[in-house]
Amino acid sequence: MTVLSTRGLSVSFDGHPILTDVDLDIRGGELVVLVGPNGAGKTTLLGVLSGDVDPSGGKVTLDDKVLASYAARELARKRAVQLQKQGLAFGFRVHEVVRMGRSPWHRTEREDDDDRVVAESMERADVTDLADRLYPTLSGGEQARTSFARLLAQETPVLMLDEPTAALDIRHQESLLAVARSAAQAGAAVVVVLHDLSLAAAYADRICVLSRGRVRANGSPTDVLTSALLTEVYEHPVEVITHGGNLLVVPVRSRVTTETSTETEEVRCATPWPHA
Amino acid sequence: MTAAVAEHQRAGIRAIAGRIGLLGGLTIALLVALVFAAGHGQLDVPPSEVLGSLMHRIGLDIGPMPHHPQGENTLWQVRFPRVVMAALAGACLATAGALMQGVFGNPLAEPGVVGVSAGAAVAAATAIVFELTFAGTWTVAICAFIGGLVTTTLVYVMSRDGGRTEVVTLVLTGIAINAMTSAGLAFLMFLGDTQAREEIVFWTLGSLNGSRWQYVGVVFPMALVGIAAAMYLAPKLDLLALGDRAARHVGVDVERLRMSTIVVVAVLTAAAVAFCGIISFIGLIVPHLIRMVAGPGHRLLVPASALGGAVLLVLADLWARTLVAYADLPIGMLTALVGGPFFFWLIRRARRTAGGWA
């Protein structure tokens, strides 16, 4: 069932088009990964889907209702968002930050579950050990995991994550996406912006490739992640290989000889202080 | 998992106990400070007689009456209105500080520092110079409220960027606003007659001298409404700490919350400024100390700041009028004297912990 859909969506900032004519359907029970080069419009698209960015044209609906017509609290019960950067103005503790995810359910009967949900969410995001730490003193990766726990605590049918793995180590990258995937299997619609294409291949049900503000391809990882398409979109030769049943996306590196690296070093020596 | 839940419940109970302990402790401290401060001054009345006088007034024949012939009069005409006014003004300023810090996402925001108090004072001075009396005793308070509202909105519009306010921008905005309000006050002093001039000077220095019951009657409802509204807004201010976008994602109508907070800050600042003048730094020091003890959660921070601010200003006022015999030092001067260095320390700390001027 389609939960979130856009038709003819376009966004422009200062007359500069960021997204053009984007049609996208996201169904419950699937994990959709948005990929694309820098400036392709991934974050903007996620911003539109989460209701942060007003589209300049086209239509966005959530559960067959126009997104803009939702009140803030009603929307917060439908979708949770993890942003790329998470700041916090005051020194709250990790468990307090996770509990903030429960606020859309205050004064409803689901409030009774707060303690259980907060504990479970911290467990799933692997931040239980950090529960009493002050959020601003955490490392970037720990902050990202805390934000992920907050997103889980919100218990919404739609989850949106903007580069959630950027600051994470390999173990936590895998476990975060595994949790996101299990949420999708439990019926949630999950949208994730990722840069790591191999990671996208491993966890996505569907990959949507954006390029210059348009949907360039949209389909299963095996259909979309082809050498030809990625080479064109990323303007860099890219190889796709299969290893042990996994798709691996590898950029073709031509200049990795020792000779070249000496050359670059020489160039660097020629201008020791390029910014001086 | 169940162990974790049980642990959290225990932590929850501890938190509630701590909350009651802090608020209870501050309430007791406030009552003691009020009785003690009411008894002290040029004419000393022992605490037992202060209590006795209070008891007799509410119809209970308990405790001794003041033995000095002028004791009873001094208490009821001068001291009680003054200490009550100090408590109200302190509570208002500290609460306004806590709210502003929450809405600006910056621990250095304070009505005095960013010029909101000065803006309210300009409007109030306008009412004095032009002898406006459209609403009786309320005239000055209403003008102060409008002035406070305009300046808070101005500071807010000028200093916010991308959902947060940087320390530098905020402080510089405060300098600009304070410069403009000083010009406004100077112009009003130039326009006014000698009596108006004296009143304006008294304001910029801040003093609780001359507090009367009829003024308390104006300030009390404003403080009550303001603090009640602040308590209502408090839980949502926690979420605002996540930043604008993330706060919206967890269901906060950010614009509406900000606007209502600004109105509440203006009400509270006006209540404090209308009859007591500019008393700065209370809103900076008190919420900061409370945060150090009880953490940044606004549910506890707001009421604890209100009580703490009341205690602090009652004691500061006692100090102001007893430090030098037969002299009533301006309270704004004293709070600035102590608050200034504290502000220095906060700026240095903010710079260190935020890794720059974040």
The tens place of each residue's pLDDT in chain B, 358 residues long, gives 455 556 666 767 777 888 889 999 999 999 999 999 999 888 888 998 999 999 888 888 888 888 888 888 889 999 999 999 999 999 999 999 999 999 888 888 888 878 888 898 899 889 888 888 888 878 888 898 899 889 988 888 888 776 566 667 877 888 899 899 989 988 998 988 888 888 888 778 888 888 899 999 999 999 999 999 999 999 999 999 998 889 999 999 988 898 899 889 989 998 998 888 889 899 999 999 999 888 899 999 999 999 999 999 999 999 999 988 888 888 988 898 888 898 888 878 766 655 434 3
CB-based contact, B242 to chain A, within 8 Å: yes
Q: Is A73 on the interface with B (CB under 8 A)?
A: yes
pLDDT at residue A271, rounded to an integer? 43
Say how far apart CA A219 and CA A221 lie, in whole Å: 6
* Kind of pairing between the strands at B164-165 and B160-161: antiparallel
Question: Which residue, among A110, A95, A100, has the nearest Cα to B246 in the 3D structure?
Answer: A100
Six token digits for residue A14 = 């200062």
* DSSP secondary structure letter of residue B66: P
Q: What is the length of chain A?
A: 276
pLDDT at A126 over 50: yes
* Residue B279 Cα, gap to closest chain A Cα (Å): 25
Instruction: Assign A275 a pLDDT band (cuts: 50, 70, 90).
Output: very low
Per the prediction, chain A carries an average pLDDT of 90
- DSSP conformation class of B67: S
Instruction: Write the pLDDT tens digit of every residue in A52-106.
Output: 999 999 999 999 999 999 999 999 999 999 998 888 888 899 999 999 999 999 9
The pLDDT, as a whole number, for residue B81 is 95
- CB contacts under 8 A, A 87-126 vs B, are 87-93, 95-97, 100-101, 103-104, 106, 115-116, 118-120, 123
Distances (CA, A) of A61 to A50, A100, A117, A178: 11, 26, 28, 27
Per-residue pLDDT, B5: 57
Amino acid at B167: V
- In three-state secondary structure terms, A159 is strand
Element (H, E) at A208: strand A206-211
Residue A265's pLDDT band, with cuts at 50, 70 and 90, is: very low
pLDDT at residue B244, rounded to an integer = 85
- Predicted confidence (pLDDT) per residue in A17-62, tens digit: 999 999 999 999 999 999 999 999 999 999 999 999 999 999 999 9
Q: Is A202 on the interface with B (CB under 8 A)?
A: no
What is residue B223's predicted lDDT score, i.e. its pLDDT?
A: 96
Contact B250 A91 (CB under 8 A): no
CB nearest A100 (choices: B238, B245, B253): B238
Contact list, B251 vs chain A (CB under 8 Å)? 72-77, 103-104
Determine the residue type at B85.
M
> Are B148 and B159 spatial neighbours (Cβ–Cβ below 8 Å)?
no
pLDDT on residue A273: 45
The H-assigned helical ranges of chain B are 2-39, 47-57, 71-73, 80-104, 116-129, 138-159, 167-191, 194-205, 213-240, 244-249, 254-276, 282-294, 298-322, 331-353
Chain B: closest CA distance from residue A25 (Å)? 21
Report how far Cα A214 is from the mean position of its chain's Cα atoms. 18
Contact residues on chain A for B164, CB-CB shorter than 8 A: 87, 89
B161 vs B307: CA distance, rounded Å: 32
How high is the ipTM of this complex? Answer: 0.86
Q: Of B164, B246, B295, which has the smallest distance from its Cβ to A83's Cβ?
A: B246
User: What pLDDT, in 10s, does the model give residues B121-175?
Assistant: 899 889 888 888 888 878 888 898 899 889 988 888 888 776 566 667 877 888 8
Quick one: pLDDT at residue A51?
92
For residue B10, give the chain A residue with the closest CA. A115
CATH numeric code, A2-220 = 3.40.50.300
Cα radius of gyration rounded to whole Å, chain A: 21
Per DSSP, the residues of A4-67 read EEEEEEEEEETTEEEEEEEEEEEETT-EEEEE-STTSSHHHHHHHHHTSS--SEEEEEETTEEG
As a whole number of Å, the end-to-end CA separation of chain A is 59
How many Cα atoms are found within 13 Å in the side-chain-facing hemisphere of B64?
Answer: 9
Is B245 an 8 Å CB contact of chain A? yes
Instruction: For residue A227, give the H/E element and its range.
Output: helix A227-234
Decide if B236 contacts B260 (C-beta within 8 A).
no
Give the pLDDT band of residue A256 (cuts 50, 70, 90): low
Contacts of residue B158, Cβ cutoff 8 Å, sequence gap at least 6: B169, B173, B176
Sign of CA dihedral B162, B168, B172, B177: positive
Domain spans of chain A, in order of start? 2-220
In the structure encoding, which two tokens stand for residue A104, read together? 């859309």
Closest CA–CA distance from residue B351 to any residue of chain A (Å): 14
Q: How many CB pairs under 8 A join A and B?
A: 96
Name the residue among B267, B286, B316 with its Cα closest to residue B82: B316
Q: Which domains does chain B have, with CATH numbers?
A: 78-353 (1.10.3470.10)
Q: Give the span between the Cα atoms of A101 and A114, in whole angstroms.
A: 10
E-strand ranges in A74-188 read: 79-82, 158-162
